[in-house]
Structure 1
């Protein structure tokens, strides 16, 4: 599938667990000052590692704060859980955060990353129906239809076409949703699988009558070595994400990959 050649970008997920909000805020401001392209959090109610009942903060209220506290960096959740909020409310929240982040006459900087949800403890403790993986994906499909329809009628409208990021690699439902709705496709698949998944996406795009030439392919750096990240780049990945845990944020790793980004973009 031919993809539009775009610069490499680095997104850093500041995991909102086992830290104070002041530490989160300081980390995001450091990322912005250093030149990271996107700051992400995640949409959960409990930690995903360490003490399962440790300190943790909610995603969307935090994103509203980031919208006001930052000036340049794009931001969003990696990713929002569709199950936790009414679809039309999600659209309105996204539009509002988009406006909050618009500074100096520029458009907003919010990225609407979303997925169908998976962390059962969140569902059980907060009273949401867990359902099945299939039912949650069906709910996401219906929600995306409503979200896009709501964006079309909100007053005021979003400051820009809010970029939609959809995470996942399932070929029967998730990738069809990517082909139908997403500007960014995020996954954790290995380099050789990226090519295969892009072929599946192209098949769905033809059925959805959508041109995917402007789709941004995103993948996780994680603990990968440079050769595997280079292979992801060769496969078409242009947004690379990195997760950080506090309070001892590993900014040296961020510096390494931002330098790699800059070298790629200068080539």
Structure 2
């Protein structure tokens, strides 16, 4: 298994995201958290694309992803926003492109399109989508992305910028290959050692697909704190992971001290980074 030795790809600046889980909470608290997070200086705010809570009472409060992102696009002025990640099977790809373009204009060019193959069987069943096998869901994702890019190129007006595509998921045979083909950002999870392994697999797929590995930003979600020098933050950065999303559970959505620690860590890391 690869270690978390320093990565050989050209250095990117470290970015910090906040991933808001919209379960068991009122929208007023979510809106307050979004405002605080932008003032803290996080680089990206994301939310999940699930129709029911994933923790606690399965029938508790939960909010829909895309309509909430539209509200965030109006509320904020600097931070990037997007789903982490939207299920490709839930919506027609051409519609996803149009929704993405519209959100990109509302936000002034700050939308990031996060997509994955989906895994929460209840979401599929209760909303009338066919669950299928993991391989079939991965195929739906892979086939959606060219349609999305083609539709984005035909829309009038076009997006405010070339919308970055963020692929979420850790499957080594299908998802990472899809990321090598289509992603601007690959988003995973796991220990630094596990992420280093996934990065190596993604690099191998990039070689097969004719992509430069350095063209894909590496991202991961965590519940950890950055810690002191040589702590978790430094270990995850050593793998080449430069976008770190910090999970914020709905029940603790205004408890943001951990994200403040990550923002301070980011600023110090970027200050210490040698200039190119």
With structure 1 as the length reference, what TM-score do the two structures score? 0.94
Work out whether 1:228 is the aligned partner of 2:260. no
Tell me the C-alpha RMSD between the 2 structures: 1.4
Map 1:73-112 onto structure 2 (within 5 A): 73-102=79-108, 108-112=109-113
1:120 matched residue in structure 2: 121
> What is the total number of aligned residue pairs between the two structures?
262
Following superposition, the deviation at residue 20 of structure 1 comes to 1.2
Unmatched tracts of structure 2, length 5 or more:
1-6
For residues 23-52 of structure 1, what are the alpha-carbon distances to aligned partners after superposition, in whole Å with 9 as ceiling and x for unaligned?
Answer: 111110110011111101100000010111
With structure 2 as the length reference, what TM-score do the two structures score? 0.91
Correspondence for 1:259 among 261, 264, 273:
264
Aligned mates of 1:225, 1:69 — CA distance in 2: 28
Work out whether 1:10 is the aligned partner of 2:38. no
Mean Cα displacement is larger for which, 64-73 or 211-220? 211-220
SS in 1 for 2:166: strand
1:178 matched residue in structure 2: 179
Mean Cα displacement is larger for which, 236-245 or 204-213? 204-213
Following superposition, the deviation at residue 224 of structure 1 comes to 5.8
Aligned mates of 1:222, 1:147 — CA distance in 2: 32
Unmatched tracts of structure 1, length 5 or more:
103-107
Aligned mates of 2:188, 2:251 — CA distance in 1: 26
Mean Cα displacement is larger for which, 225-234 or 119-128? 225-234
Mean Cα displacement is larger for which, 87-96 or 205-214? 205-214
For residues 158-207 of structure 1, what are the alpha-carbon distances to aligned partners after superposition, in whole Å with 9 as ceiling and x for unaligned?
Answer: 11111111111211111111101111111113222333322222221122
Contact 1:2–1:213 at 8 Å: present in 2 too? no
Mean Cα displacement is larger for which, 148-157 or 87-96? 148-157
SS in 2 for 1:75: strand
1:36 matched residue in structure 2: 42
Contact 1:4–1:215 at 8 Å: present in 2 too? no
Aligned mates of 1:28, 1:175 — CA distance in 2: 31
Aligned mates of 1:214, 1:178 — CA distance in 2: 11
For residues 123-148 of structure 1, what are the alpha-carbon distances to aligned partners after superposition, in whole Å with 9 as ceiling and x for unaligned?
Answer: 11111100011100000011011111
Contact 1:81–1:116 at 8 Å: present in 2 too? yes
Mean Cα displacement is larger for which, 48-57 or 213-222? 213-222
SS in 2 for 1:49: coil
SS in 1 for 2:34: helix
Following superposition, the deviation at residue 225 of structure 1 comes to 6.0
